[in-house]
Every structure is written in structure tokens, then in C-alpha cells.
């Protein structure tokens, strides 16, 4: 089989074309603030988007939650990462102990972080604050068989959806998804390759640190994996090339859209999960803010294909949800200026005049 994709889905409509009367009212409110028109730049776009998601002129960020999904990948046996598979469970414990970057940033910025064992090849002590939700002890090695069965993939997606539904019932309206799993940039590259009909070379980057001959080896492994399979649907594609954590995120993205939640998208792996989910629910992109452009080579290409403008570019490539956690204060700034900044009339300030 060649490297072409047969599962790509047309892009959803830009927000500006579906805003209707509410969109016009939000834009009018934004323009009446005491500032030159457009001078708050991307913050104005974010404020408009969140107002449309929440269907209100006065949107709020309420009880933000970070769900971190952890799972192992059978393809890691092919040495597509410089780190051993054990690093997955070790990093989960580091998160639990507050030592990981995502732990620090969630604590700093008011995210309620929850860690979910989606399929780590390790038995965590039951007393730890890790939510047990294993589909299996890691996916299968794609070099020999599909990563998941479609039934396993559907179960993972349903579990991801259930986690989001539970948070929505508690009053959360803003959610983000992080991940940890050695080998998951390889899965993400394969999903991007298939769903966007791009060559593997454009979809593969350093990941956790593959460079030079190691990077070429990684590319060759993924090309060989791709040649083995010809999935016929988005679900089968996700099952063939994905990971348990990626599938849970995909289900979580779809449910967050259905719950009318604001979704803060992290880096390359989270974006690949969102891309996978969008094959089944194209409109979910309207609820997504892409929080940063990863330093992972393929992410800039993926964002361009999604017609997404990232909030930040800090050369991050850590994953875990770190970019989304860091971006939250900026997202809050967009909401706060819309709700709290004075209008020209309120402040008694003369407006700019038309020339």
C-alpha cells in the first residue's frame, strides 16, 4: 500500500461564518471597549470564540480541569524513542508527587489535574490518586499487528467521553487533555500521515530526542508500519495506529464538544487526537483553542492544515498538557477584558472617528 490517506474529512466552517446574531453582538461589545478597534489582537478572537461556544455575551471560565491520560505503546519495542518504556509509569508517579512540569503549571494556574491510567504496563498502588481505567497493558506492536482492535478503541473513546461527562456535571466548562506514553509521537505521526494524506517524513520529528541516524531509523520504522495496513474508516485508522491514551482523548474531545465546553488543545499529540476525533465530529474544532505551537516539527504543519492560530510559541515539546496549562491565564484575560473592561460610553472616553 502507498502512504496516501483515504479517510480525510472536510474542514468545519470558520467560527465567523456561523456566529450569526450572537456573533455580531459579541463583536459589537468587543469593539465598544476603550481601545482602538482590534488592538487586543488575538485576545479579541478568543473572546468572540468563547462567547459563541457558551452562547452568551458574558462568558466565564469555570472549574477548569486537566485530564492527563497515560498509556504504553507496543511500538516502543522497536526503539522509536530514546527512552525505555518504564519511563511512562515513572513519569506518572512523578506527576502524582507534584514533580512534573504539568503538576507545577496546573497548580500555578488553577487547573484541577486528574491522572488516568488508560493502559500503562505497570500496577500502580491503589492508594495513589491515579484513576484506574486500563484498556490493556499497552497497545500491540504495530510492526506485527494493529495497535488496538476496533472494540478496544471504541471502549477507550467511551471511557474518555465518560470522564468529560462527569466533569461537566460538576460544573466544569473548560477542559484540557494531557498525555504521557513513550512512543506516542510515533502513533501521532502515523495518524497525521493517514488523516491528512501527508508523507511520513513531514509527520515525524524528534519526539523525546531522536536525531540524526536515530530519526531516520524512526521514519523508516513508521513507513514500514504504514505499508502494512489499509484501514477503511476513521475508527479503524485510530485503532490501527493510535494509543489507548490517544483514543481516550479523541472520545473526550467529542464529548467536550457535545457538552458545549471550551477545549484547550495542547501540543502535537493532543492535536493528533483532536484531528482523529474531528474525522467523526468535524465541528468540534469550533470549541478548540490551540494553545501553543510545539517545537515538534510536524505540529506547525498540522496546525496549518487545521487552519488554527496557536496562542503561544515557546518552543515547547514536552507534552503532558503543559502548553494548555500555561495558556490558561491568557484565555482568562480574553474573558476578563470582555466582561470587565469599560466601554467608551461607561468611561466617558471619546471614540475614534471615521476618516
**Annotated active-site residue in 320, 340, 352, 354:** 320
**In sequence order, which ranges of 99-241 are alpha helices (DSSP H)?**
101-109, 150-169, 184-195, 200-203, 212-227, 234-241
What are the two backbone dihedrals, phi and then psi, of residue 319, each rounded to the nearest 5 degrees?
75, -145
Closest CA to 256 of 278, 234, 239: 278
Catalytic residue flag (residue 44): no
Assess contact for 70 and 117: CB atoms under 8 A: yes
Buried b (16+ CB within 10 A) or exposed e, 71-96: bbbbbbebebbeeebebbbebbbbbb
Assess contact for 68 and 321: CB atoms under 8 A: yes
CA–CA separation, 187 and 298 (whole Å): 13
Task: Return all residues near 267 (Cβ < 8 A) that are at least 6 apart.
Answer: 292, 294, 296, 299, 316, 317, 318, 319, 322, 323
Q: Which residue has the cell 513531514?
A: 202
CA angle 168–173–176, rounded 5-degree value: 95
**Which contiguous run of DSSP H or E holds residue 91?**
helix 86-96
CA–CA separation, 45 and 83 (whole Å): 40
Active-site residues, by number, are 320
Amino acid at each position: 500500500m502507498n502512504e496516501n490517506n483515504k479517510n480525510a474529512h472536510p474542514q468545519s466552517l470558520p467560527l465567523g461564518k456561523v456566529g450569526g446574531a450572537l456573533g455580531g453582538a459579541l463583536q459589537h461589545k468587543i469593539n465598544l471597549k476603550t481601545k482602538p478597534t482590534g488592538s487586543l489582537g488575538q485576545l479579541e478572537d478568543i473572546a468572540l470564540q468563547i462567547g459563541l461556544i457558551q452562547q452568551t455575551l458574558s462568558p466565564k471560565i469555570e472549574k477548569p480541569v486537566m485530564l492527563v491520560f497515560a498509556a504504553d505503546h507496543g511500538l516502543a519495542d522497536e526503539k522509536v524513542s530514546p527512552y525505555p518504556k518504564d519511563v511512562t509509569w515513572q513519569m506518572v508517579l512523578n506527576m502524582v508527587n507534584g514533580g512534573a512540569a504539568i503538576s507545577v503549571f496546573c497548580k500555578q494556574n488553577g487547573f484541577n489535574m486528574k491522572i488516568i491510567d488508560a493502559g500503562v504496563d505497570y500496577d500502580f498502588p491503589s492508594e495513589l490518586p491515579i484513576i484506574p481505567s486500563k484498556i490493556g497493558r499497552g497497545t500491540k506492536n504495530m510492526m506485527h499487528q494493529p495497535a488496538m482492535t476496533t472494540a478496544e478503541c471504541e471502549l477507550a473513546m467511551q471511557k474518555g467521553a465518560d470522564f468529560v461527562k462527569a466533569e461537566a456535571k460538576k460544573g466544569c466548562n473548560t477542559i484540557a487533555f494531557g498525555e504521557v506514553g513513550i512512543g506516542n509521537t510515533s502513533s501521532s505521526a502515523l495518524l497525521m500521515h493517514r488523516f491528512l494524506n501527508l508523507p511520513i517524513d513531514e509527520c515525524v520529528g524528534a519526539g523525546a530526542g531522536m536525531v540524526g541516524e536515530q530519526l531516520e531509523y524512526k521514519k523508516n520504522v513508521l513507513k514500514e508500519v504504514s505499508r502494512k495496513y489499509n484501514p477503511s474508516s476513521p475508527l479503524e485508522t485510530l485503532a490501527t495506529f493510535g494509543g489507548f491514551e490517544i483514543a481516550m482523548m479523541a472520545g473526550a474531545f467529542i464529548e467536550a464538544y457535545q457538552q458545549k465546553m471550551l477545549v484547550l488543545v495542547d501540543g502535537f499529540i493532543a492535536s493528533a487526537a483532536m484531528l482523529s476525533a474531528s474525522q467523526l465530529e468535524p465541528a468540534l474544532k469550533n470549541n478548540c483553542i490551540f494553545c501553543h505551537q510545539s517545537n515538534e516539527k510536524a505540529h506547525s504543519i498540522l496546525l496549518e492544515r487545521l487552519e488554527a492560530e496557536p496562542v503561544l510559541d515557546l518552543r515547547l515539546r514536552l507534552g503532558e498538557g503543559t502548553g494548555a496549562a500555561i495558556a490558561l491565564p491568557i484565555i482568562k484575560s480574553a474573558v476578563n477584558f470582555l466582561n470587565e473592561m469599560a466601554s467608551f460610553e461607561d468611561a466617558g472616553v471619546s471614540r475614534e472617528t471615521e476618516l
